[in-house]
Homo-oligomer: A and B are copies of this chain.
Amino acid sequence: MDLNFSPEELAFRQEVRDFIDANLPPATRQHLIEGKGPTKEMVVEWQRILNKRGWAVPEWPVEWGGPGWSAAQRYIFREELQMAPAPSPLGFNVNMCGPVVIQFGTEEQKKRFLPRMANLDDWWCQGFSEPGAGSDLAGLKTRAVREGDEWVINGQKTWTTLAQHADWIFVLARTNPTAKKQEGISFILCDMKTPGITVRPIITIEGGHEVNEVFFDNVRVPAENLVGEENKGWDCAKFLLGNERFGQARVGASRERIRRLKVIAAQTLDGGEPLMADPEFRRQMTEIEVELKALEMTVMRVIAQDMKRRDGKPNPATSVLKIKGTEIQQGVSELLMKAAGPYAWVDGDPDAEGTNQWDVAPDWAYGLAGTYFNWRKQSIYGGSNEIQRNIMAKAFLGL
């Protein structure tokens, strides 16, 4: 047993940290420190900087531009980005569609799409969820019918994150309506400019526009845009979802938020003293820090297993990452809101200038309630935490 990073891994961490310090645009970093989501421009700019360095697609094989890192290095890289904080390479491109194309796509598809994904020349989005198919993804109803050299797609997707920025969408559509639920589904790529696609914003409870409905009305895409075999799209979906072993743990991101919380709590008065002096506030914060430390070790265990044997054997630790990762993030967002007290309640566009401009309220308080509201989604999406418990009961407990 060896529970530490190797000297090489520690050196790699320093290299990543130095690169970020030297290359991350300061305005982007400041924007993220303030708890705001990065703009499209910030994401694109930073991913191209990473791509130039050869770091935009850590999980991809070397032949398609991957850096050839170990699982530990990939983990370190991701954590350092989150802690900086810096935008992560766009997940839809890098962690979702890219790996599916690499695994299931034709040589031609790879050549056509992968380099543009890596450089964020195309912004991708995910067309999986539907109004009637939430936790029960395979219940989807969007239809794709083959007509000559084209697929004709009709239906509706929802919760499509950042579809408003997207150039392309990867879609799960039913291509055999008579087959069993999972068996008649295909994985198809669509140019968002194709006639018949309509994007309608969904405004979330805090007022933000992150997700969308995407309507398909006789959308015709070339037959060659099918990835993998017809009616085998569920394999792509499973591969895509199973690929994400650490995504929602976000240990680095939570650590960054806790640091922010500590800065704020040192400046904020509570009972005439800094909030940091309140034992109850400290207790709540420390409990989360402890849980986060355990989660970090849990992530390490999964990485170590991955490095040793990629046998795909399910590791119960993996199931913990989603549940605890999201609970921790939600907990920190709640503490940040509570730290701001009444001043968290100013509403408005979180990307606009702070509206507490008269110095009656602290600038940093702005938007913290919105983030708390918005982050309730974390225990819902990506397989709700209830679904995770169902999975655990089946896969690990034999119940």
- Chain A residues with CB under 8 Å of chain B are 279-280, 283
A-B contact pairs, 5 of them (CB 8 A): A279-B279, A279-B280, A280-B280, A280-B283, A283-B283
CB-defined contacts of A283 to chain B, threshold 8 Å = 280, 283
Please, how many angstroms separate the alpha-carbon atoms of A367 and B128 in the complex?
Answer: 58
Residues of B within 8 A of A280 (CB): 279-280, 283
Chain B residue with the shortest CB-CB distance to A279: B279
CB distance from A258 to the nearest CB of B (A): 20
The docked-state distance in angstroms from the alpha carbon of A283 to that of B280 is: 8
CB distance from A390 to the nearest CB of B (A): 18
Measured CB to CB, the closest approach of chain B to A350, in angstroms, equals 33
Which single residue of chain B is at the shortest CB-CB distance from A283? B280
- Bound together, the chains give a CA A283 to CA B287 distance in angstroms of 15
A283 to B278, CA, bound (A): 12
Of all chain B residues, which has the CB nearest A278?
Answer: B279
Q: Complex formed: what's the CA distance from A103 to B283 in Å? A: 55
C-alpha gap A280/B284 in the complex (Å): 11
Complex Cα spacing A23 to B251, Å: 64
Which residues from chain B contact A279 at a C-beta distance below 8 Å?
A: 279-280
Q: How far is the CA of A279 from the CA of B279 in the complex (A)?
A: 7
**Distance (whole angstroms) from the CB of A270 to the closest CB of chain B:** 13
State the Cβ distance, A274 to closest chain B Cβ, in Å: 16
Bound complex: CA A5 to CA B387 (Å) = 49
A280 to B286, CA, bound (A): 13
Among all A-B residue pairs, the 5 with the closest Cβ atoms: A279-B279, A280-B283, A279-B280, A283-B283, A280-B280
Chain B nearest CB from A100 CB (Å) reads 39
Whole-angstrom distance from the CB of A279 to the nearest CB of chain B? Answer: 4
A341 to B283, CA, bound (A): 20
Shortest distance from the beta carbon of A281 to any chain B beta carbon, whole Å: 11
Q: For the complex formed, measure the closest distance between the CB of A310 and the CB atoms of chain B, giving whole angstroms.
A: 41
> Within the assembled complex, what's the spacing in Å between the Cα atoms of A245 and B387?
37
Q: How far is the CA of A329 from the CA of B279 in the complex (A)?
A: 26
**Closest-CB distance, A287 to chain B (whole angstroms):** 11
